[in-house]
Amino acid sequence: MMSSEFFWEWFLPGIWITIQVTLYSAALAGVVAFAIGTLRTSRLWIVRFLSGAYFEIFRGTSALVLMFWMAFALPIMLRIQFVPMAAGVLALGLTYGAYGSEIVRGALAAVPPAQREAGIALNFSRSQRLWKIELPQAWPEMVPPFNNLLIELLKGTALVSTITVADMTFAGGLLRLAKGDSAPIYTLLLVLYFILAFLLTRGMRVVERHAKRRVGQVPEKTGFFSGLREKSATDALTGSTGGVK
């Protein structure tokens, strides 16, 4: 079993780094998702085209390859220096932001057209309609798929270990080299990720309840395991579990 010294020196800071990477890239992904998602509903074809291109490009590429490219190729090509964590957060945020933009776009499209027409009748400007009518109503629809996306993002953060960010997967690798006893290390790692995913979901459920109460929808009861992911039949069928896979 691992020595306690190693645990305190590497593993615990590693958990903290994993949480940090998750928070930073989730924040970036959130901004990208709302920006690209709303731009994709623009009236101007060029804006729609460019934001659509962003979606297709970042959804099309592999997050790990993008991360390697940002950590190793981009600094040389542009002659700039990146902290490894910045490259990791950028790659994750831009990739998962692209998936998130599809959630935002879909939820905006699901707002009944009459709501938009009512806004026009009240002489609301386009941005007022977006901020005061469309987004508040679309928000509760976005929360469950965003939850799935957040878990995908959390799992994705393990990738930053490959570009030498000392997250918990990286710490696990170091421990393996130091102790050679990999079974307890990797079992503990998997359990830790599961616990983090579970806690994230619980946190998101509070957000979900709050969002649904505001628009007067009652959140349905879910079981112990079913709570981890939103599993509506249509989501699974269209493969749009959080827009990811």
Partner 1 sequence: MSWNWDNVDAFMPLFWDGVIVTLKALFFGTLIAFALGLVWAIAKRSDQKWISWPVSAVTEFIRNTPLLVQLFFLFYVVPEWGPSMSPLTTGIVGLGLHYSTYTAEVYRAGIDGVPIGQWEAATALSLSKRRTWTAVILPQAIRRVIPALGNYVVAMLKDSPMIATIGALDILGEAQSYSQETFTTEALTVVGVAFIVIAYPASLLLRALERRLVR
Which residues contact partner 1 by CB under 8 A? Answer: 56-57, 59-66, 68-69, 72-73, 76-78, 151, 155-159, 161-162, 169, 172-173, 176, 182-183, 186-187, 189-190, 193-194, 197-198, 225, 228-229, 231, 233-239, 241, 244-245
Q: What's the rounded Cα separation, in Å, for the pair 113 and 45?
A: 20
The smaller minimum CB distance to partner 1, of residues 8 and 72, is found at 72
- Do 50 and 203 contact (CB within 8 A), yes or no? no
**Cβ-based nearer residue to partner 1, 13 or 136:** 13
For the bound state, the minimum distance from the C-beta of residue 237 to partner 1, rounded and expressed in Å, comes to 5
In this complex, which beta carbon is closest to partner 1, that of residue 18 or of residue 38? 18
Least distance from C-beta 76 to partner 1, angstroms? 5
Dist. CA 179–CA 224, nearest whole Å: 36
The helix/strand/coil state of 73 is: helix
CB 134 within 8 A of CB 115: yes
State which residue, 118 or 199, has the beta carbon closest to partner 1: 199
Closest C-alpha to 98, from 65, 143, 144, 61: 61
Calpha distance 223→101 (Å, rounded): 29
